[in-house]
Structure 1
Amino acid sequence: MMRGSTVTIITRKRTGTDPGGDPVWAETEEQVDDVLIQSGSQADSTDSTRPAGISVERTLHMPRKWEYHSLRGCRVRLPDGIEYSVVGDPIPYDGGLTPTRWNLTVDLHDERG
């Protein structure tokens, strides 16, 4: 039987404004169990100002039991402690397909170095 890992979804929400009228933000963290983590592509940076830079992609498969909400603008911390940015605003599979316990594919991206 396949079993996923636990990841942390980090969401930033506006909580008000400061005395100067600028927005004030707070982060919330949500742990999700049984997430499948798929390795993706890695590439060296082509930017001459970052000779040691790399681009890393990952894909998550979220479990059906997770109560869906928009992941636009979120970050995800994987079990190794590395945080990735969510690409776009993924939505769950539709159409009554139920072959597995997972129904949402989330693409992640990170730049390092």
Structure 2
Amino acid sequence: MASMIKGIPVTLIKKSKTGTDPFGGPIYVEEELIVNNVLISPTSSEEVLNQQNLTGRTAVYTLAIPKGDTHTWENQEVRFFGKRWRVFGIPLEGIESLIPLDWNKKVTVERYE
């Protein structure tokens, strides 16, 4: 049975350190990876307040990541809706076999430009 709920493609921007500049600062190269079938929902008011109290950051959206995804999401940047966002906090993950739909992990993002 095909799921009636469908996500959208999201660009995950993976940064890899390639060296250091003359002042000792890190130099990174960005690799863009497309992750399909990601659900995006506005973060609830209660979650926004909780995140602000805990981290000082403003959660805007929560992304549901599809089962089987092995990318690193923590502290990464993503692009969707034509804007750039930063993942913050630890991804929350459930046991794949116990979750009935196609997603078992969620991350929270804040606006980043």
TM norm. shorter chain > 0.5: yes
Question: Which residue of the partner structure matches residue 14 of structure 2?
Answer: 11
CA offsets 1:38-84 (integer angstroms, 9 cap, x no match): 122589xxxxxxxxxxx561011111132x23312211111x21111
Write out the 4+ residue segments of structure 1 that deviate beyond 4 Å after TM superposition: none
Question: Which residue of the partner structure matches residue 103 of structure 1?
Answer: 104
1:13 counterpart letter in structure 2: S
Cα 1:56/1:22, change in 2 over 3 Å: closer
Segments of 5+ residues of structure 1 without an aligned counterpart are: 44-54
Segments of 5+ residues of structure 2 without an aligned counterpart are: 49-57
Instruction: Give me the TM-score of the superposition, normalised by structure 2.
Output: 0.73
Question: Which residue of the partner structure matches residue 35 of structure 1?
Answer: 38
Question: Which residue of the partner structure matches residue 90 of structure 1?
Answer: 91
- The CA RMSD over aligned residues, in Å, is 2.4
2:111 counterpart letter in structure 1: D
User: What is the percent sequence identity of the aligned residues?
Assistant: 34
Cα distance in 2 for residues equivalent to 1:57 and 1:33: 20
- Aligned residue pairs total 99
**Whose helix proportion is higher, 1 or 2?**
2
Question: Which residue of the partner structure matches residue 76 of structure 1?
Answer: 78
Q: Assess if the C-alpha contact under 8 Å between 1:35 and 1:63 holds in 2.
A: yes
Q: Assess if the C-alpha contact under 8 Å between 1:11 and 1:73 holds in 2.
A: no
Deviation of 1:11 (Å): 1.7
